[in-house]
Amino acid sequence: MPRPTVAIVCPREFKFTDHEASVERPVLGDVAELTTVWLDFNAPFPAEVLGADAIILWHGPRVTAEVVAGMTRCRAIVRNGVGFDSVDLAAAARAGIPVCNVPDYGTEEVADHALALTLALYRQLFPLDAEAKRLGWRINVQHRMRRLSTQTFGIVGLGRIGTAAALRAKAFGFRVVFFDPYAPAGAHKALGIGRVGTLGELLATSDTVSIHCPLTAETRGLIGEAEIAAMRPGAFLVNTARGDIVRKAPLFAALRTGHLGGAGLDVVEEEPLRTPEEAATPNLIVTCHAAFCSPEGMVEMRTTSARIARAAVLGEPVWNRVN
Query: Which residues carry out catalysis?
Result: 242, 271, 289
Q: Where are the beta strands (DSSP E) in 138-270?
A: 152-156, 175-179, 194-195, 208-211, 236-239, 262-265
Q: How many CB atoms lie within 10 A of CB 182?
A: 9
Rounded (5°) CA angle 29-32-33: 85
Single-letter code of the amino acid located at 17: T
Q: What's CA 158's distance to the chain center, in Å?
A: 14
CA distance 238 to 114: 7
As a whole number of angstroms, the distance between CA 259 and CA 32 comes to: 56
Which residues lie closer than 8 Å to 310 by C-beta, 6 or more apart?
27, 28, 31, 32
